[in-house]
């Protein structure tokens, strides 16, 4: 790539763009991106060497232009050119994210693609080109979440190439559609390797109708119609991907499929693409005349499955009537696999009764995780504790029969986006001591340990202050809310979910507020509590939690007693680009899920890398984070998994509520009229905590159980921030211990332990 020539072309583009309004920015964005596309020679991908294909319903890519320019080594030059011609060097912040995902699972897929291209292996992504990505969140007057559609294509899609000649017909029992691929380049850092993200768009086939398969991310699946659409989406992209992968193989190797798995490994990101397994079996049988056994064995050699959750309600099961209605042959293959499994179990000496724990066909439902565990060569968990739970409970029976299938690969994040791009000053500070090598090898971070002197601490404090000021400006610009960057920034950002316990956080803040009203907490260090995150549009309790937090913010921010000492901000429309502002500005990273519920978390790693202490429970990757960074440098509280398991059956929060008056007062605000509750949603939350519901006992997530421990820990953290330098040292210790949490390490482990791909950098 001729960098100088490209920069001259970019200069010309910027110079000739006259209108300096938002249309001008969109036009610059498109023209510069397209110019880059001309230079990177993204013509398509081959299959000469072993390739891994990452199938995922979600890719939460974020904004592409800055990261692509960075990978190509021209980000700073381009920003200088923009400035030279009178543009803001950050003008592309007005361009929307590629938000084709919900949260952690989709962001993980995006980080993995970046790492695969950077470490130089063939790793391609396959997903859906949703017309509307994750909704945009706005708050109404009363603090409730409203959803607005995310029409991201109005900004153009200059990074995609539509490949008309590689479209696939996707056939359902009752209809068929065309799947048209849009390929995006995944540019490895330093631009040595370019991989591909292939997103399929559904279009009517000749004479057919438009089923709207790729219209929306996560259609409302509370109705049968919505469920069917969701299943169509899964099959649509899984089948299109499998077919295109197989075609590419045939083109290069002829139709001897016996070597297929030596060239192709397929990673299933959760169970959403599991239907790809039965698709491959069917293609091998129907189009290549292979036997069922041969086809199933071939699938077993190339498919692998990553589990992301142990929550029973999130384990996918498809109703056989629904499935048989649109994909009858797949149902038949699943039944065949189920019978084959039963024969193997009986040979292994499993009693008939014990076999129900394994069955792929669970009476009238197809159990997707079991199908995956049965067929796949490897199954992995995403943190040590999560894999342990898979081993000891969810898949325990399976591992007796198929030992060695399960392995752990702890999640990771790309330091290119989550440090270099979002916090260049901290990146530069570290690089000033150990060089820039850690941009490709994060394990080098540890080399800085002996070089942490007083000067480094001073500089770290300055960088953190600058990030906090920037965040404050950004929030003021976006939401018109003023926050004080000299206060402690305590940040809780992630999807809103009961298990993630945003409720525990807001309860503790209300507690602090009531203490102040009662004249207490004289030494409390002024703190800004920042929340961010979206609730699924149909998840009533999560939406009630958002409204409650916003109403508590209204109360506390406007009371002279707490004014200047407690401030709550719920940032609107948390997404990847907002995240890039938030992670670098945190003093404390709030990671307080009920022990045993968060598979890994990756937000926790982004905070760590940017030098925040973790205020959290022993859950997910928090455990590994604290192990690396030192417990003394973090704030760990609450029940661990052993304790939760011990008390689960007998737990009753009512005595706690009665004995602890202050807790009672806080929880009471859900039902005592402190806040208006015209739709009864706060009352419903109160009921869930105190009485439970048809499907769970009171306080299912042990919020009240961990309440006191959380307050105590939070106050300790607050006190510690008074000693600025020792606290900064704790933050630094976290940042420089983050070496293992790079997605480069994670992808190397997938390559080495699962795909059998050699990484030679
Ligand atoms: C990292 C990230 C997540 C995942 O956060 P967790 O705290 O691990 O749940 C979700 N959304 C966005 C935008 C992210 O960047």
List pLDDT tens digits, range 222-247. 899 999 999 999 999 999 999 999 99
Task: Choose the residue to mutate in 106, 493, 593 for probing ligand 1, maximizing ligand atoms within 8 Å of C-beta.
Answer: 493
616 lines ligand 1 (CB under 6 A): no
Ligand 1 centroid to Cα of residue 77, in Å, is 30
List pLDDT tens digits, range 482-511. 999 999 999 999 999 999 999 999 999 999
Nearest to 415 by CA among 381, 395, 444: 444
492 lines ligand 1 (CB under 6 A): no
List pLDDT tens digits, range 692-727. 998 999 999 999 999 999 999 999 999 999 999 999
Task: Give CA–CA dist 751/123, Å, rounded.
Answer: 9
Ligand 1 centroid to Cα of residue 424, in Å, is 20
Domains of the chain: residue spans and CATH? 42-58+101-411+746-755 (3.40.50.2000), 416-741 (3.40.50.2000)
pLDDT at residue 747, rounded to an integer = 98
Backbone angles phi, psi at 267, to 5 degrees: -105, 125
Residue closest by Cα to atom 6 of ligand 1: 603
CB atoms closer than 10 angstroms to residue 671: 18
Q: Please enumerate in sequence order all residues whose Cβ is within 8 A of that of 703, keeping only pairs 6 or more positions apart, or say none.
A: 501, 503, 504, 507, 689
Helices (H), 139-274: 224-253, 260-263
pLDDT at residue 221, rounded to an integer = 83
Task: Choose the residue to mutate in 579, 583, 619 for probing ligand 1, maximizing ligand atoms within 8 Å of C-beta.
Answer: 579
List pLDDT tens digits, range 162-194. 999 999 999 999 999 999 999 999 999 998 899
Neighbouring C-alpha atoms within 13 Å toward the C-beta of 108? 30
Atom number in ligand 1 closest to CA 413: 1
H or E segment to which residue 54 belongs: strand 51-55
List beta partners, residue 99: 60
Nearest to 575 by CA among 82, 110, 30, 76: 110
Ligand 1 centroid to Cα of residue 569, in Å, is 18
Decide: 462 and 423 in contact? Cβ < 8 Å: no
Q: Give the pLDDT band of residue 335 (cuts 50, 70, 90).
A: very high
Q: Please enumerate in sequence order all residues whose Cβ is within 8 A of that of 353, keeping only pairs 6 or more positions apart, or say none.
A: none
Report the chain's C-alpha Rg in angstroms. Answer: 26
Residue closest by Cα to atom 4 of ligand 1: 104
62 lines ligand 1 (CB under 6 A): no
Decide: 52 and 755 in contact? Cβ < 8 Å: yes
- Return the biggest CA–CA distance within the chain: 80
Ligand 1 centroid to Cα of residue 398, in Å, is 31
601 lines ligand 1 (CB under 6 A): yes
C-alpha of 196 from chain center: 20
582 lines ligand 1 (CB under 6 A): no
H or E segment to which residue 661 belongs: helix 661-668
- Phi-psi label, residue 44: left if phi above 0, alpha if psi -120 to 50, beta otherwise: left
Task: Give CA–CA dist 557/65, Å, rounded.
Answer: 37
Atom number in ligand 1 closest to CA 576: 13
User: Residue 209: pLDDT above 90?
Assistant: no
pLDDT at residue 354, rounded to an integer = 84
List pLDDT tens digits, range 613-666. 999 999 999 999 999 999 999 999 999 999 999 999 999 999 999 999 999 999
Q: Give the pLDDT band of residue 314 (cuts 50, 70, 90).
A: confident
List pLDDT tens digits, range 106-165. 999 999 999 999 999 999 999 999 999 999 999 999 999 999 999 999 999 999 999 999
What is the 8-class DSSP label of residue 446? G
Task: Choose the residue to mutate in 61, 104, 580, 610 for probing ligand 1, maximizing ligand atoms within 8 Å of C-beta.
Answer: 104
Mind telling me the catalytic residues? 308, 494-495, 500, 602, 606
Q: Please enumerate in sequence order all residues whose Cβ is within 8 A of that of 669, keeping only pairs 6 or more positions apart, or say none.
A: 510, 552, 675
592 lines ligand 1 (CB under 6 A): no
Ligand 1 centroid to Cα of residue 347, in Å, is 44
Decide: 592 and 549 in contact? Cβ < 8 Å: no
Residue closest by Cα to atom 8 of ligand 1: 601
Number of H helices, E strands in the chain: 29, 23
Decide: 161 and 595 in contact? Cβ < 8 Å: no
310 lines ligand 1 (CB under 6 A): no
DSSP for 224-251 reads HHHHHHHHHHHHHHHHHHHHHHHHHHHH
Atom number in ligand 1 closest to CA 575: 13
Nearest to 201 by CA among 163, 174, 228: 163
Segment 404-422 shows an average pLDDT of 97
User: What average pLDDT does the structure give for the chain?
Assistant: 96
Decide: 8 and 79 in contact? Cβ < 8 Å: no
Residue closest by Cα to atom 9 of ligand 1: 494
Task: Choose the residue to mutate in 102, 108, 592, 603 for probing ligand 1, maximizing ligand atoms within 8 Å of C-beta.
Answer: 603
Angstrom CA distances, 588 to 58, 321, 395, 497, stand at 29, 49, 35, 20
Using CB atoms within 10 Å of the CB of residue 127, give its burial: 0 to 12 exposed, 13 to 18 middle, 19+ buried: buried
Ligand 1 centroid to Cα of residue 602, in Å, is 6
Atom number in ligand 1 closest to CA 493: 7
User: Residue 761: pLDDT above 90?
Assistant: no
Encoding tokens for residue 467?
A: 């990030």
Ligand 1 centroid to Cα of residue 103, in Å, is 5
Backbone angles phi, psi at 719, to 5 degrees: -60, -45
Task: Give CA–CA dist 61/175, Å, rounded.
Answer: 32
List beta partners, residue 380: 306, 407
């Amino acid at each position: 790539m001729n960098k100088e020539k490209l920069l001259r072309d970019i200069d010309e583009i910027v110079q000739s763009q006259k209108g300096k309004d938002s249309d001008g920015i969109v036009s610059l964005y498109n023209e510069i991106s397209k110019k880059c596309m001309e230079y990177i020679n993204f013509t398509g991908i081959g299959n000469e060497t072993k390739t891994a294909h990452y199938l995922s319903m979600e890719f939460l890519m974020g904004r592409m232009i800055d990261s692509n320019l960075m990978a190509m080594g021209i980000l700073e030059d381009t920003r200088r050119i923009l400035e030279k011609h009178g543009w803001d060097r950050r003008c592309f912040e007005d361009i929307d994210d590629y938000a084709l995902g919900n949260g952690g699972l989709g962001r993980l897929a995006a980080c993995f693609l970046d790492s695969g291209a950077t470490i130089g292996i063939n790793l391609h992504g396959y997903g859906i080109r949703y017309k509307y990505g994750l909704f945009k969140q706005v708050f109404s007057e009363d603090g409730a979440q409203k959803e607005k559609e995310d029409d991201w294509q109005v900004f153009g899609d200059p990074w995609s190439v539509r490949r008309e000649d590689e479209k696939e017909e996707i056939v359902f029992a009752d209809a068929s559609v065309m799947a048209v691929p849009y390929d995006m380049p995944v540019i490895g850092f330093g631009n040595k390797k370019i991989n591909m993200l292939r997103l399929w768009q559904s279009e009517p086939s000749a004479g057919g109708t438009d089923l709207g398969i790729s219209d929306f991310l996560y259609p409302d699946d509370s109705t049968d119609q919505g469920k069917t659409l969701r299943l169509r989406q899964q099959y649509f992209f899984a089948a299109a991907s499998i077919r295109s992968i197989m075609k590419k193989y045939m083109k290069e190797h002829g139709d001897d499929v016996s070597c297929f798995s030596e060239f192709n490994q397929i990673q299933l990101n959760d169970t959403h693409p599991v239907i790809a397994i039965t698709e491959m079996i069917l293609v091998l049988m129907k189009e290549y005349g292979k036997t069922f056994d041969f086809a199933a064995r071939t699938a077993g050699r190339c498919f692998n499955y990553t589990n992301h959750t142990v929550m029973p309600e999130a384990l996918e099961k498809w109703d056989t009537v629904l499935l048989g209605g649109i994909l009858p042959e797949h149902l038949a293959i699943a039944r065949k696999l189920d019978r084959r499994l039963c024969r193997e179990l009986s040979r292994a000496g499993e009693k008939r009764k014990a076999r129900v724990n394994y069955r792929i066909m669970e009476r009238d439902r197809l159990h997707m995780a079991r199908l995956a565990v049965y067929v796949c060569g490897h199954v992995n968990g995403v943190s040590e504790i999560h894999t342990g739970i898979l081993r000891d409970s969810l898949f325990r029976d399976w591992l007796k029969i198929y030992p060695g299938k399960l392995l752990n690969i702890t999640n990771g994040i790309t330091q290119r986006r989550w440090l270099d791009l979002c916090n260049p000053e901290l990146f530069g500070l570290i690089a000033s001591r150990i060089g820039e090598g850690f941009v490709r090898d994060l394990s080098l971070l540890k080399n800085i340990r002996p070089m942490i002197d007083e000067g480094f601490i001073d500089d770290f404090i300055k960088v953190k202050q600058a990030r906090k000021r920037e965040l404050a400006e950004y929030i003021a610009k976006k939401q018109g809310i003023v926050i004080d960057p000299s206060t402690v920034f305590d940040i809780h950002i992630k999807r809103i979910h009961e298990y993630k316990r945003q409720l525990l956080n807001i309860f503790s803040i209300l507690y602090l507020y009531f203490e102040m009203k009662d004249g207490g907490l004289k030494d409390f260090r002024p703190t800004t509590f920042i929340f961010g995150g979206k609730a699924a549009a149909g998840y009533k309790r999560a939406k009630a939690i958002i409204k409650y937090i916003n109403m508590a913010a209204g109360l506390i921010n406007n009371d002279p007693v707490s004014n200047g000492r407690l401030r709550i901000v719920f940032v609107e429309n948390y997404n990847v680009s907002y995240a890039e502002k938030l992670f670098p500005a945190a003093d404390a990273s709030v990671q307080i899920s009920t022990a045993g519920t968060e598979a890994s978390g990756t937000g926790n790693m982004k905070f760590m890398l940017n030098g925040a202490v973790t205020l959290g429970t022993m859950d997910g990757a928090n455990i590994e984070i604290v192990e690396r960074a030192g417990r003394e440098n973090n704030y760990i509280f609450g029940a661990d998994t052993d304790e939760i398991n011990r008390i689960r059956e007998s737990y009753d929060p009512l005595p706690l509520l009665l004995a602890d008056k202050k807790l009672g007062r806080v929880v009471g605000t859900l039902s005592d009229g402190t806040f208006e509750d015209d739709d009864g949603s706060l009352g419903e939350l109160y009921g869930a905590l105190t009485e439970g519901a048809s499907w769970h006992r009171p306080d299912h997530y042990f919020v009240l159980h961990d309440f006191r421990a959380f307050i105590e820990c939070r106050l300790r953290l607050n006190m510690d921030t008074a000693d600025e330098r020792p606290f900064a040292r704790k933050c630094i210790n976290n940042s420089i211990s983050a070496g293992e949490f790079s997605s480069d390490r994670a992808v190397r482990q997938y390559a080495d332990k699962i795909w059998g791909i050699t990484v030679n950098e």
